[in-house]
Structure 1
Amino acid sequence: MREIVFDTETTGLSFPGGDRLVEIGCVEMVNRVETGRVFHVYLNPDRAMPAEAQAVHGLSDAFLADKKRFHDHCEELLDFIGDAPMVAHNAGFDFAFINGELGRCGKPLVCTTRMVDTLAIARQRLPGAKHTLDALCSRFGVDRSRRVLHGALLDAQLLAQVYVELTGGRQIGLGLVAETIVDAAAIPITVVSRPPARPPRVFSASPAELERHATFVAGLKDPLWGPADPVAAS
């Protein structure tokens, strides 16, 4: 099965409010294994970059000034994603921007039925845990040392590894085990009877043992604890 894991960087949080895409990174996976094919572009948003957004991804007005617009890469993006399911972390956010830009170009929108949200998967599988990409990378041992700032392609590559772990681990992609359906009713049930209860053991000393112990102690010469008889010690 072919899937596209992707991430975006933007000028802010609201496409209807005037924010735009500035970076798209896509990673192709087949049967949960990365193929090495990627799609990655920086985009000129035709608007100023807010300082708070630049602090997240590091993309400045000067860096983006000579980059092409979304419509210049639109067909290339659509060819790359094809009709594959699209995997993203908090996917609704990324879909809103992708579809917003496609709508501006007069292109058909990507159907949300293709959306796979790893944030929703993580919340279901790991209730009570932290569900950020950084937290999931730490949980699954994914190396995120290069992630100093957010970056669409790097984050998509990290998310691809996290997605594999969230959906069952590497074995799914490698196809090492054939799927087997087991009829529980056909499994024989073995009833194991318990042996009779053992009588409780007695661990206290018997009168004879106490007498032998007293005789042994009385025969000790210069014991460390001194004479046992307080009269003899006076």
Structure 2
Amino acid sequence: MREVVLDTETTGLDPLAGHRVVEIGCIELVNMVATGRSLQLYLNPEMPMPAGAQEVHGLTDEFLADKPLFADKVEELIEFLGEAQLVIHNAQFDLGFLNAELARVGRAKLTNDYVDTVSLARRKFPGQRASLDALCDRFSIDNTKRTKHGALLDSELLAEVYLELSGGRQRDLGLAPEMAATGLSGMLAMKRPVRPARPHAASAIELAAHAEFLKKVSDPIWLKE
């Protein structure tokens, strides 16, 4: 199963008030394992950065001045997301902003299935804090590099949190990223030989031995009504 862990940074809290997306970070998972594919987009919001938002993520007007517009990167984003299930912390916030940006460029809203890890955490730990930092603390995930919010870094941390919320790190058995693609397509992609299925049907000798054994069974249960 292909999933994309996604996060955004913005100029504010409300896309309906004209606030814009300034960073998008995505991490690809296949069968709950990071594949090594990621996408990071910095975007020019075409508006001054409010001081409060800059304090959160550290992205300045000067840094974003030469970055592309959302319209210039929308195809790259849509292609990366594909039909993957999205994994988002507080999904309504990020989806609201992305759908507002898509509407501005005349594109349809995202229809991908999604998992909201805030809701997932609240169901699993009712009454407990469900922020990304709190969940990193709970699961002993190193978030010391998170001095500011950043979409790609937060996506990387969220991918680890999501794995823990979904059953724990043992699910990938410590496999390297190149092992993420499983099944026939993954084996072919890695150019490894595909072994034929092992035969499980009993041989004639085995069937004869079984018949002889059954003759020795007295009062067999399978003959009782």
Task: Determine the structure 1 residue equivalent to 2:222.
Answer: none
The answer for the alignment partner of 2:146 in structure 1 is 147
3-state SS, counterpart of residue 110 of structure 2: coil
Residue aligned with 1:16, SS: helix
Query: For 2:85 and 2:17, how far apart are their aligned partners in 1?
Result: 27
SS in 1 for 2:49: coil
1:173-217 deviation line (CA, Å, top 9, x unaligned): 4599xxxxxxxxxxxxxxxxxxxxxxxxxxxxxxxxxxxxxxxxx
Are residues 1:51 and 2:51 paired? yes
Which residue of the partner structure matches residue 221 of structure 1?
A: none
Q: What is the aligned partner in structure 2 of residue 133 from structure 1?
A: 132
1:95-121 Cα offsets, whole Å, 9 max, x none, are 00111111111112112x612100000
- Going from structure 1 to structure 2, the CA distance change for 1:126 and 1:83 (only over 3 Å counts) comes to same
Q: CA deviation at 1:171?
A: 3.1
Superposition pairs of residues 22-171 of structure 1, within 5 angstroms: 22-111=22-111, 114-171=113-170
Q: TM-score, normalised by structure 1?
A: 0.73
Unaligned runs of 5+ in 1: 177-234
Q: Supply the AA of the counterpart residue of 1:66.
A: D
Q: State the one-letter code of the partner of 2:69.
A: R
CA distance in structure 1 between the aligned counterparts of 2:82 and 2:95, rounded to whole angstroms = 15
- SS in structure 2 at match of 1:24: strand
1:174 and 1:110 map into 2 onto residues whose CA distance is 33
Give CA deviations for 1:115-141 in whole Å, capped at 9, x if unaligned. 210000000000121111001001001
| Percent of residue pairs identical | 57
The secondary structure found in structure 2 opposite 1:28 is strand
TM-score of the superposed pair, with normalisation by structure 2: 0.76
Q: Which amino acid aligns with 1:125?
A: K
C-alpha deviation, 1:146, in angstroms: 0.5
- 3-state DSSP of counterpart to 2:161: helix
Following TM superposition, by how much is the alpha carbon of 1:37 offset from its aligned partner in structure 2, in angstroms? Answer: 0.3
Measured at CA, do residues 174 and 78 of structure 1 come closer, stay the same or move farther in structure 2, by a change above 3 Å? farther
- Report if the CA contact (8 A) 1:31-1:172 is conserved: no
| Structure 2: runs of 5 or more not aligned | 176-225
Larger Rg: 1
Q: CA RMSD in A?
A: 1.4
